[in-house]
Amino acid sequence: MDLRLTEIQEAARETARDLAEKKLLPAAAKLDASEAFPDEALKELAGAGLLGMRIPEAHGGAALDMVSYALTLMEVARADASVAVTLSVNNLVAETIERFASDELKATYLTKMNEPAGLGAFALTEPQAGSDAAGIRTRAELKGGHYVLNGEKTWITSADRCGVMLVVAVTDPSKRSKGATAFLVDGNAKGMTVGKHEPKMGQRASHSCPVFFKDCKVPAANMLGKEGEGLKVALSGLDSGRIGIASLSTGLTQACLEEMTRYAKERTAFGKPIADFQAIQWMIADTAVDLEAARHLTLAAAWCKDAGEPIGEKAAMAKLFASEAANRSAYRATQVFGGYGYSREYRVERLYRDARVLTLYEGTSEIQRLVIARGLLK
C-alpha cells in the first residue's frame, strides 16, 4: 500500500477540514442539545461537493476514491459525529445503487442524492432482526407490476428526511437468507410512514427512526439486483459502510486526543500542569497509538477497495478496532478532564456519548469478530 496521498486526496481532506472547523464544529453542541437535524451542515457539504462524494460524475457527484472518502469522513467526524454518520449512510446507499441498480434507477435517484432533499436511507434492521439480518419479517409480495410491502423497520438513519430508502424485504419466506430482496422506495411513498426519531444517548442530530409499511406499492423495476439477492446487496453495502464507521471513529478519536492534550497543558494540580504527571502522559500516549493504528487500518481497507480487492475482513478489522479505540479514547479524555468531563459545558462529554454507538451500528463488535474469524477459518 502506498502511504503517500495524491493531490486529490490531500485536497479532499483539506476541504473537509476547513469546512468542519469553520461551519460544523461551532454548531455541533447546539445541534446535539436540540436534537435538530443538521440541515445547514448538509447544505454546506453539498456546496463543497462532499454530500455525494462517491457518486459518479455522470450523475453530478465528485466520484472520489475510497481513501479520499475516508479522509473526508475523519475530518467531518472530528467536528460532529452526527453529520458524519448522515454523510456515511448517504454514500453507502449511493454506492449500492451504483453497483446494483438499472440505468433508469441510477438516473432517477443518484443525481438527487448530491443534495440534502435526496438523502439515502438504509432499511435493513427490524425490531426482531438486528445482527441476524436473515431474520427479517417485512414482506414484499408481487402483485401485477408492483411489489406490496408490509412490515416494520427500526433505527433507520435519516428516515424522516430521506429522498430514497433502500429496503430489504422477504419475497420467499421458505428460502430464509436467499428469500430476501432489495428495493428502492421513494421517501414520500404512499403506505410508508416514518415514526418519531429515537431520543438517543449520543449522535443526537442524526435521526434514527422506525419505519412502517402498510400495503406500500413499489414498482417491480425498483428492485436492486435480482429477487432473492437482498442480503447480498445489503451486506455488500455494509462492507463499505464499515469503512465509513471506521473513518468516523478515527475522527472522533482525533478529537479526543486534541481535547485531552490541550486541557492537560492548561489544567494545573499540585502546582504544575497535569501534563507533567505520568498517569496523564500514559493516557495521552495510549490514545495517540490508538489513533495511529485506527487510521492505518481504515486507510488500508479503503486502499484495498480502490484496488478492487476483497474488503470484507479488512473492513471488519478496521471497524472493530477503530470503534473500540474511539470508546477507549473517549473514556480517557473524560478521565483527564476529571469532573469537568462530566459536564455538558465541555466537548468531551459529547464525544463520550457519541462514541458509544460506534461498536453497535453497522455490525456490532461481536459480529465483526465473527466476520474476521470465519474468513480466517474457511
Q: What is the CATH number of the domain that holds 109?
A: 1.10.540.10
Domain final residue, candidates 58, 85, 118: 118
Query: Does residue 225 lie within any of the structural domains?
Result: yes
Is the same domain home to 243 and 370? yes
Query: Does residue 277 lie within any of the structural domains?
Result: yes
Is the same domain home to 101 and 42? yes
Domain final residue, candidates 118, 135, 158: 118
Helices 25-34, 347-356: inter-axial angle, 10-degree rounding: 70
Query: Does residue 284 lie within any of the structural domains?
Result: yes
Is the same domain home to 71 and 98? yes
Provide the residue range defining the domain that includes 312: 232-377
Residue 203 three-state SS: coil
Residue where the block lists cell 433502500: 166
Query: Does residue 328 lie within any of the structural domains?
Result: yes
Is the same domain home to 134 and 49? no
Is the same domain home to 82 and 164? no
Is the same domain home to 167 and 270? no
pLDDT tens for the chain, 378 residues long, are 677 899 999 999 999 999 999 999 999 999 999 999 999 999 999 999 999 999 999 999 999 999 999 999 999 999 999 999 999 999 999 999 999 999 999 999 999 999 999 999 999 999 999 899 889 999 999 999 999 999 999 999 999 999 999 999 999 999 988 999 999 999 999 999 999 999 999 999 999 999 999 999 999 999 999 999 999 999 999 999 999 999 999 999 999 999 999 999 999 999 999 999 999 999 999 999 999 999 999 999 999 999 999 999 999 999 999 999 999 999 999 999 999 999 999 999 999 999 999 999 999 999 999 999 999 998
**The total number of structural domains that make up the chain:** 3
CA angle 27, 355, 253 (to 5 degrees): 85
Is the same domain home to 241 and 367? yes
Query: Does residue 32 lie within any of the structural domains?
Result: yes
Query: Does residue 248 lie within any of the structural domains?
Result: yes
Is the same domain home to 323 and 335? yes
Is the same domain home to 124 and 161? yes
Q: What is d(CA 128, CA 138) in angstroms, rounded to the nearest whole number?
A: 11
CATH number, domain with residue 331? 1.20.140.10
Q: What is d(CA 336, CA 252) in angstroms, rounded to the nearest whole number?
A: 16
pLDDT at 176: 82
CATH number, domain with residue 135? 2.40.110.10
pLDDT at 378: 87
Are 129 and 234 spatial neighbours (Cβ–Cβ below 8 Å)? Answer: no
Is the same domain home to 178 and 196? yes
pTM of the complete model beyond 0.85: yes
Q: Tell me the three cell numbers of residue 3.
A: 502511504
User: Which candidate, 279, 283, 276, 278, places its Cα nearest to that of 260?
Assistant: 283
What is the set of active-site residues? 362
Q: What is d(CA 89, CA 142) in angstroms, rounded to the nearest whole number?
A: 28
Is the same domain home to 85 and 138? no
pLDDT at 308: 96
Query: Does residue 2 lie within any of the structural domains?
Result: no
Is the same domain home to 292 and 350? yes
Query: Does residue 330 lie within any of the structural domains?
Result: yes
Determine the number of helices (DSSP H) and then strands (DSSP E) in the chain: 11, 10
Domain final residue, candidates 185, 207, 230: 230
pLDDT at 177: 84
